[in-house]
Every structure is written in C-alpha cells, then in structure tokens.
Amino acid sequence: MSLEQRWLKAVYGDSQWLAPLYPFGSLYRYLMARREAQYSSGKKSVWQAPVPVIVVGNITLGGTGKSPLVAWLARWLVQRGYSPGIVTRGYGGKAANYPLQVAATTDPAQSGDEPLMLAQQTGRPVVADPQRPRGVQALVEQGCDIIISDDGLQHLALGRDIELVVIDGARGLGNGRCLPAGPLRESPGRLSRVDAVIVNGEQRHALGVNAVSMELAPKRWRHLHSQQSLALAPLPFTLPVHGVAGIGHPERFFNTLRSLGVEGDMHPLPDHQRFDSQTFQFVGQRPVVMTAKDAVKCQALAPPDSWILEVEATLPPEFEHWLAAKLSAISERGCMNG
C-alpha cells in the first residue's frame, strides 16, 4: 500500500495518528475561507465567460465520480441543442504550450489521463490549461456555447453560473477535517453555497444538505487493443482475472467487478498512476480488467487479453428538469442583460 493510499485510509477512518496535523488542517481551512472572501469581495479578479459555465467539482480528495458526471453533462447538453466544451487543468500532464487542444489521439503525458478519457468518451472539444479562463476562451473561439469546468470548484478566478459538487456516498466527508489532517479541500459549509450536491452511490453519511443521487452503471466491456465492445453478459473473458484501478477510490471499481461476477486478484494503484512495463508483471497469465481512465495510458503496455469496463452516470429525471430550468433562467438573464 502506497503512502497516499495509507493516508486516504486514515482520513476516511479518523485515525488518531492524524491528531498532530489538526492545527495545520485548521490553518488550511482558514486560508481557503479567506481566499474565497477575497474573490467574492472583488479583491481578487474573476473572469466571466461570455457563455454559461457549469463547474463540476468536489471538496474532498480521493475520487468521487466527477469525470462520469462531466461526460453525462456533455451528452445531455448535446441532446438539448448545445455545443458544450470541456475545460480542465490537465492534472498529470505536461504540455509544451497551453491551451492544449486534447484530441482522442493526444499523448496522455501531455494532457493527463482524465482529459484524454473525456475527449474519447464525449467527442466534444476538450482543452487543458492551468489557467482556466484562457482555456475557456479557446473553447469559445471554437464555437462552444456552454462550458463544463472539470474539477473547477476551487479555481475561483473563473466565474461560474452553476456549481455542482460530487460526494462519494460510501466515504462522505471522511473525518470532516481539512488538509492535511483530513480529506477536505474546503470547509463542509461550502456545500450550502453550491447549486447542487450530487452523491455518487448509496449515501451512508449525513451531509447537512439535500443531495441528488447518482449511480455509475456498468454498460459494456471493451477490448483494449481491438476496441471491440461486447455486452456485460456473458463475460467475454475467462476467470479469474487481474483487476487494475489507478483511481481515487479503487475499491469502488473492484466492488463493481464483483457485482458482475468477476473474480480474481485486485490491484489498487495510486490515483493517476503512471504505467510502465513493470506494472503488469503479475503472477499468472490471466485476463486484465481495468478502468477507462487507466486504459488511455497503457495501450502499448497492457497484455493482449486486456478489457475495459465502461460505466456511465445515471441521474434522476428531477435533476434533469432542475438543470434545464436553471439553464433557461440563465439564458433569459443573458438576453435581458444583452
């Protein structure tokens, strides 16, 4: 188990060895609150895009399901006549120049894994840029009439019209403390100031606010090398397997595999794991099953019998009605101001 994984286990379990870090967590919480106040008061400038901006983010570390929600939003917006674009920081990637236009064939070493995955899954314009306002400008110049900011809640220099926060239902807010004493990027009170809180999976912890339920539904198997898609049943590979997950919450993926009858050895890896020839040196020649996020990084490295489990977010009709009404109100306000 890596140091990162041990820390995540501790902050979501309220381990006592974290106690010496509590003062640092309080300081971090204070600094984040002061930073938010500086933006809201105008002491720090906020750039407002000429098109609506939907921010998808979280207040916890460790993976919550933001990317599936971003992909769902992109598809939903296209169905309603919008031309959405996705802006992201591009965590884990390093490009020679920004903004970086992320295509389905972009090197993940430049874009990062999640931007490349989103480009492949949605077919929409994706731009990676640490300076999000600059990235949004690039998308608007391409004709995008609405922007989804992936993991953008704390990037306050970019104005936003809608804030959506995703919480992992199984882990909630952990021990309720801010970094480094806990998993929180901001105070739990931040949830009361966003437009909607979305809980991924069964909600097992009280949040103090109303929340929308989201489920990640397995949809199909995809062979990594041939890209052939097959139905969930019967399984297109033999058991047992090697399960691989380099995401924020690997156990969630492994539980999904087990629910589909997939058994074998499960290998949790650090979030945004960089793959190399040693990654797949497992004992025993078995099929390998992985997440879509991992798949974009190991096309040339994984064994021939490697499979991806494709999942998609599902949200209740009430949330769709609410979002449609929200966007309609934003559009009307824009027309009045124009």
CA 254, CA 258: separation in Å to the nearest integer?
6
- Six-digit token pair at 337? 């101001």
Taking only the tens place, the pLDDT of each residue in 202-239 is 999 999 999 999 999 999 999 999 999 999 999 999 99
Shortest CA distance to 223 belongs to which of 209, 243, 237? Answer: 237
The vertex-257 CA angle with 9 and 108, nearest 5°, equals: 75
Taking only the tens place, the pLDDT of each residue in 188-199 is 999 999 999 999
**Is pLDDT above 70 for 334?**
no
CA 148, CA 126: separation in Å to the nearest integer?
10
Per-residue confidence (pLDDT) for residue 335, from 0 to 100:
66
CA 16, CA 25: separation in Å to the nearest integer?
14
pTM score: 0.93
Thinking of the domain 3-214, which architecture would CATH place it in? 3-Layer(aba) Sandwich (3.40)
pLDDT band at 15; cut points 50, 70, 90: confident
- Average pLDDT taken over every residue of the chain: 93
Strands (E), the chain: 53-57, 84-88, 100-102, 126-128, 146-150, 162-168, 196-200, 212-223, 229-230, 241-245, 264-268, 288-290, 306-314
**HSE toward the beta carbon, residue 63, CA cutoff 13 A:** 20
Stretch 51-71: mean pLDDT: 93
